[in-house]
Amino acid sequence: MKISHEKKQQAFSRGIWAERLAAFALMLKGFRIVERRYKTRSGEIDLIARRGSLVLIVEVKARTSVEAAMEAVSSMSLSRIEAAADHWLARQPDYHRLSLRFDLIAVLPRRWPVHIPAAVSFRN
């Protein structure tokens, strides 16, 4: 099944809007957005936010429910996000004192974004 150009454009616009709303919600919680749509050859991170030494690697999903947002994060996308996070972290002069956390923000219809801290643990 081929998705039309118009549908792709709508999904892209919805994603940009969801990321902006998620960034605003994080800023209200005292985080500073240090990167939006951070891209590397190995992956992409929707938002990177920082408060003190805590760095959030944030995946933003615009879905109809929190459950659907959580299910939309596949193990393959997690490995790509982890690779991009490693790349970003290696470029930070104070990397040795930073705490990294993977969060999910679900942007739901007609609701404030749902922030799920520590949604996934990369390293055991």
The domain limits of the chain are 5-120
pLDDT digits (tens, 9 = 90+) for 4-49: 888 888 888 888 999 999 999 999 999 999 999 999 999 999 999 9
Mean pLDDT, residues 100-115 = 96
CATH topology of domain 5-120: Trna Endonuclease; Chain: A, domain 1 (3.40.1350)
Mean pLDDT, residues 53-58 = 96
Tokens of 3: 């998705």
- Position 123 scores a pLDDT of 46
Q: If we measure between CA atoms, which residue out of 76, 68, 79 comes closest to residue 57?
A: 79
- Position 121 scores a pLDDT of 62
Q: How many residues does the chain have?
A: 124
Q: How far apart are CA 76 and CA 94, in angstroms?
A: 28
pLDDT level of residue 124 (50, 70, 90 thresholds): very low
User: Structure pTM?
Assistant: 0.88
